[in-house]
Amino acid sequence: MENYSIGLSGLNAVYAAMEVIGNNIANASTEGYHRQRIELRPADTTQTGRAAVGAGVDVVGVTRLINGLLEREITAQGSSYGQISQELSILSSVETSLGEFAESGGLNETLDAFFDALHGLAANPLEQTWRNQVVSSAEVLTAEFRRLGSSLASLEDQMVLEAQNVADSINLLTTQIAELNGKIRAVEINGGQANNLRDNRDQRIVELAQLTGIETQTREYGGVDVSIGGLPVVTGAIPLEVSVSLQSDGSLALHAAGSEGYGLAVQGGRLGGLLSLRNELLPSLEEDLDTLARGIVSQINAYHVQGVGIEGSFTELDGWTMGSNDLNEIEPPITDGTFYIRVTNTETGEITRHAVDVNLSGASPDTLDSIAAKVDAIDGLTASVGFSRLHIASDLGYEFDFTPALLPEPTASNLTAAAPPAIAISGIYNEDSNETLTFTVDGSGAVGNGALRLTVTAANGDVVTTLNIGSGYAAGDVIEMTNGVKIAVSTGDLNDGDRFEVEVFQTTDTTGFLAAVGMNTFLSGTTASDMEVCARLIEDPDRIATALGGDLSDNGAALRMSGVHDEAVDSLGGMTPNEYYQRTTANLGQEVALKQSRQEHIEAVIEDLKGQQSDISGVNINDEAAQLIIFEKMFQAIAKYFTSLQTMITALMEVV
């Protein structure tokens, strides 16, 4: 009967092999399936007399053809690909939204149009058409900033929703992995093989890695533990849910569900890309855009507050509604220093300039209320704070402004002659810093005679220039210095050593207070998303500041504002607005190019790895067909073997 056992073992092997081959063929196109191979070995021999005779074939098991190291590398690369693809997709859309590579449009173009309009206004400061053009181009510019700012903010909100959806998908996959771990253990702890279940589970792990970076650890009886950022989300057959939420610092984080105090350090997968975009890449781009908006607002306003439009000085001004009475909490920041208010008595023509000191670093720092009180103490002005807004109004018969226009008379003088001349000052100072110029008389005598001169020195004692007011000078003629200061000396006598002082101003606000609280500003906003043209200028374009001088005949304010286009702005890192924006877009373009290059590299690596995987684990239909023929022949041979045995036994029985 041993012969029958041998034949039966062969049939058992054939049936098992056919099942394996059939399973391979059925799963030839199944994602994540690994080719299986039946393992056969000779059965133990039996002793027949002196001969050891084979006892047939044993089916040892079914082997899943898999290279663990290769599979782990494919999973890791898939995780990297998931992150880089997510980042590239969003950054490419941001790059498109900037519009810098379109035929027309984009922030660069609107910046140029705005400054071109300011150049036109500087050339034609009295023409209404150019004032309207400046307002129109400014509205287009601020609308473009708001569009870009809102677009980035919307993308950040979208990242939150996307990350939460990915977290739901992660929880679904970890639940499935845990369930499959349990099924695999139930089969293999009893000595069975769960190759198909293992493939199913491993495919879920691959899909999980595409969503987030993971670490895996093999357990006994085929189980695999999975961790995300050090948090075990699958332990044997037990899953742990995760969730995504905004932290107290505004960052987006993944954490164990119900435990929001600790954010996991997630790298890789779509979730890693979403967290990187939401917490780093988009905020950095948004901050660059906000910095540019603040820089333009701050610089334009710093010049605008010091000028006046064709309607002249003010009788009333209101600032912005401030979020706090504490000046240290105001953006843009205010520093210690002084701002100056020029007050004109419209009945007498008397013009005075008043200094308002701002102290924020002392034991009793100034507040909005205390500054209002200082302004209120100036003759001819009334100031108050209502609803967190600074309000300044002039008394009847007075006007005020913040222009750096020189006062018509010297700030201080010491003229000792019996009949001294009248000194008339005018012009607009054009140097880089505020200064007190001292004019000292060299020689004695009547103006327009002899070698009478004025030596002009700066506060540090350096000689600025020497002016001839002796022979060759006609009393009353205006002498214009290279720094923009104009002086006229009437008839009269001067003594050697006589002197007078003139305060000259490059800026009438060294603190940034006026622009920060919204007094006579052009633009408002502290971010790109809330940048706007001040309503009072939209309603009355004649209030656009063009002049710095008291007679409104100059274009100094318009020139200063138009010059911002080519000005190195400190808050922009010493770059012009266009240069800063071009650097921002160039950095974004470089980031997109680098990520695209990396994505292509990872694609090539994955393709190569999958080629190797296919060689080891892939199902080749031709190979399986060849195996079918082999086992078909084996079945036919065993059937023949049984037929021969039957014939022999029948013959033997006939003999007996």
Return the half-sphere exposure (C-beta side, CA atoms, 13 A cut-off) of residue 352. 10
Choose between 411 and 656: higher pLDDT: 411
CA angle 37, 38, 44 (to 5 degrees): 150
442-486 tens-digit pLDDT:
999 999 999 999 999 999 999 999 999 999 999 999 999 999 999
Indicate the length of the chain as a whole number.
Answer: 656
Q: Is the dihedral of CA 160, 163, 169, 170 positive or negative?
A: negative
Concatenating the DSSP letter of every residue in 44-70 gives PPEEETTEEE---EEEEEEEE---HHH
As to burial, measured by CB atoms within 10 angstroms (0-12 exposed, 13-18 middle, 19+ buried), residue 473 is middle
Region 389-393: what's the mean pLDDT? Answer: 95
Measured between alpha carbons, how far is 563 from 577 in angstroms, rounded to an integer? 11
Whole-number pLDDT of residue 265 = 84
Average pLDDT over residues 68-79: 91
Q: For residue 188, give the amino acid letter.
A: E
pLDDT at 383 over 70: yes
The CA distances from residue 491 to 356, 422, 477, 479, 549, in Å, are 36, 8, 10, 15, 26
Confidence (pLDDT) at 362: 79
The position carrying tokens 């990915």 is 166
* pLDDT average, residue stretch 590-608: 94
- State the average pLDDT over residues 273-284: 93
Residues 6+ apart with CB under 8 A from 164: 243, 244, 245
Which residues partner with 46 through β-bridges? 53
How far apart CA 153 and CA 141 sit, in angstroms, is 18
The chain-wide mean pLDDT, for the chain, equals 91
Whether 656 shows a pLDDT value over 70: the answer reads no
Q: Is the pLDDT of residue 219 over 60?
A: yes
Cβ–Cβ under 8 Å, residues 575 and 311:
no
pLDDT in tens, 292-350: 999 999 999 999 999 999 989 999 999 999 888 888 888 888 999 999 999 999 999 99
Q: How confident is the model at residue 98 (pLDDT cuts 50, 70, 90)?
A: confident
pLDDT-based confidence at residue 534 (cuts at 50, 70, 90): very high
The answer to whether 604 and 598 are in contact (CB under 8 A) is no
Condensed to tens digits (0 to 9), the pLDDT of residues 4-47 reads: 788 888 889 889 889 989 998 999 999 889 999 998 898 887 76
pLDDT attached to residue 257: 87
Q: For residues 318 and 385, what is the distance between their CA atoms, to the nearest angstrom?
A: 10
189 Rama class: left (phi>0) / alpha (psi -120 to 50) / beta: alpha
Cβ neighbours of residue 586 under 8 Å, at least 6 residues apart?
Answer: none
**pLDDT, tens digit, 9 for 90 and up, residues 614-627:** 899 889 999 988 98
Q: What is the dihedral of CA 195, 200, 201, 203, to 10 degrees?
A: 120
Does residue 332 have a cis peptide bond before it, meaning omega lies within 30 degrees of 0? yes
> Cβ(291)–Cβ(572) under 8 Å?
yes
Strand pairing class (435-442; 453-457): antiparallel
Using a 10 angstrom Cβ sphere, with 0-12 exposed, 13-18 middle and 19 or more buried, the burial of residue 43 is middle
Percent of the chain with pLDDT over 70: 97
pLDDT at residue 261 in the model: 62
User: What's the CA angle centered on 325, arms 321 and 326, to 5 degrees?
Assistant: 130
Helical pair 577-617 and 107-123, crossing angle rounded to 10 deg: 170
d(CA 208, CA 381): 70
What count of Cα atoms within 13 Å lies in the side-chain half-sphere of residue 467? 25
- Checking if the pLDDT of 53 tops 80, the result is no
Tell me the one-letter amino acid at 527.
Answer: T
Q: What pLDDT, on a 0 to 100 scale, did the predictor assign at position 52?
A: 65
What pLDDT does residue 47 have? 64
Residue 528 — very low, low, confident or very high, per pLDDT cuts 50/70/90? very high
pLDDT higher for 437 or 108?
Answer: 437
Q: Which residues of 195-246 form beta strands (DSSP E)?
A: 215-218, 224-228, 231-235, 238-239, 242-246
pTM of the full predicted structure?
0.85
User: Is residue 103 predicted with pLDDT exceeding 60?
Assistant: no
> What is the rounded average pLDDT of the residues 210-224?
92
Edge-to-edge strands, sheet with 398-401: 351-358, 337-345, 398-401
